[in-house]
């Protein structure tokens, strides 16, 4: 391969061109980094959330190197414009680890922290929320959710009371199981939630028929868990070493992660996706999906057709 410049001492013109190229390269990188990430409104209040957040099922660690990696993610998130951190009482030491790391970083005011309870009675649920506050080392939780529909009916008066007292800011309900979608839709019709969290991806589109239309009708924000298919079966295993399709370039997706996220985030009912991320490299790649264009309805259909054409 030959160079466009001589290998001898560069002329003045060549030196100027080389210097200009060197100056522009970091500026281009800075422009990309500075590009604001997309946000969507929480229907019940109009408050806007960045469309990519963080799932923390794998944050209950003790190894110093692992803790440092997760601390770096929590530090980098608000620097990139991402804010939502989703955890749960049932995620081992996740709440405790997040509380300690956020306190060290001093950036609690820059994060939107969501957690979940799994209690089935009002008394146990109230105790679970209190314990979450203690572990997270905070005086309020931005979003408290009934985990996998646990204790929804007995806990709603408690959650409303805590919301009125500003101990929690928003109320939600979750599932990551297709078989619970009908019950989740029924719960949304019965109760007034601010958020619903559900499994939905290009490979798992059932929620688009059962849950997402109800969320739109009821004005409920939607968080997407397992946007890459979960631990047991990831979307990445199906694409293997395949290059990105030409469709990816139409929305500026430069990785499979961005391709998958841009598809899911483009559904009009969806507010934010919360992929699990334990390294800043994953964070920066995934947040890239929150920049630039999202697919329109026509492109979404093409993306679905492409995915469906791949070998299972």
In CATH, what number is assigned to the domain containing residue 139? 3.20.20.100
pTM of the shown model: 0.88
Question: Does residue 118 fall inside a structural domain?
Answer: yes
Q: List the structure tokens of 211.
A: 């849950």
Within-domain flag for 250: no
Distance set, CA 209 to CA 99, 187, 245, 311 (Å) = 37, 16, 27, 24
Is residue 80 situated within a structural domain? yes
298 part of a folded domain: no
246-266 tens-digit pLDDT: 999 999 999 999 999 999 999
User: Above 50 in pLDDT, residue 19?
Assistant: no
Q: Is 176 inside any structural domain? A: yes
Structurally, how many domains does the chain consist of?
1
In a domain, residue 103? The reply is yes
Exposure string for 8-30, b = 16+ CB within 10 A, e = fewer: eeeeeeeeeeeeeeeeeeeeeee
Segments forming the whole domain that contains residue 64:
48-229+267-291
In contact, 234 and 241? CB cutoff 8 Å: no
At 204, is the secondary structure helix, strand, or coil?
strand
**Does residue 90 sit within a domain?**
yes
In this structure, what token pair is assigned to residue 202?
A: 């290009």
Beta bridge partners of 195: 172, 221
For 174-196, how does the pLDDT look when each residue is reduced to its tens digit (9 = 90+)?
999 999 999 999 999 999 999 99
Pairing verdict, β 39-41 and 48-50: antiparallel
Cβ atoms of 95 and 59 closer than 8 Å: no
Average pLDDT for 193-215:
97
Q: What is the pLDDT of residues 230-247, one digit of tens each?
A: 666 789 999 988 999 999
pLDDT of residue 18: 40
Strands 141-146 and 168-174: parallel
Inside any domain, residue 130: yes
pLDDT at residue 312, rounded to an integer: 82
CA nearest neighbour of 203 among 277, 52, 293, 310: 310
């Amino acid at each position: 391969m030959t160079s466009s410049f001589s290998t001898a001492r560069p002329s003045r013109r060549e030196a100027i061109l080389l210097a200009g190229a060197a100056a522009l390269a970091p500026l281009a990188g800075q422009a990309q980094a500075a590009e604001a990430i997309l946000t969507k409104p929480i229907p019940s209040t109009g408050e806007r959330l960045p469309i990519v957040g963080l799932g923390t099922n794998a944050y209950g660690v003790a190894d110093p190197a692992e803790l440092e990696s997760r601390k770096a993610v929590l530090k980098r998130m608000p620097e990139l414009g991402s804010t939502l951190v989703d955890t749960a009482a049932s995620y081992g030491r996740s709440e405790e680890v997040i509380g300690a790391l956020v306190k060290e970083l001093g950036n609690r005011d820059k994060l939107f922290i969501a957690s979940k309870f799994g209690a089935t009675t009002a008394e146990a649920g109230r105790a679970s929320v209190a314990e979450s506050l203690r572990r997270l080392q905070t005086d309020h939780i931005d979003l408290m959710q009934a985990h996998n529909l646990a204790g929804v009916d007995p806990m709603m008066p408690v959650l409303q009371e805590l919301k009125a007292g500003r101990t929690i800011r928003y109320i939600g309900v979750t599932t990551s199981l297709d078989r619970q979608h009908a019950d989740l839709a029924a719960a949304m019709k019965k109760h007034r939630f601010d958020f619903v969290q559900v499994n939905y991806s290009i490979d798992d589109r059932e929620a688009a028929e059962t849950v997402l239309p109800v969320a739109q009708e009821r004005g409920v924000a939607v968080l997407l868990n397992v946007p890459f298919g979960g631990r047991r079966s990831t979307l990445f295993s199906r694409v293997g070493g395949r290059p990105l399709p030409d469709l990816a370039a139409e929305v500026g997706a430069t990785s499979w992660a961005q391709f998958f996220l841009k598809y899911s985030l483009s559904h009009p009912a969806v507010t934010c996706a919360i992929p699990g991320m334990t390294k800043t490299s994953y964070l920066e790649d995934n947040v890239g999906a929150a920049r630039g264009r999202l697919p329109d309805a026509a492109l979404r259909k093409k993306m679905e057709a492409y995915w469906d054409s791949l070998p299972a």
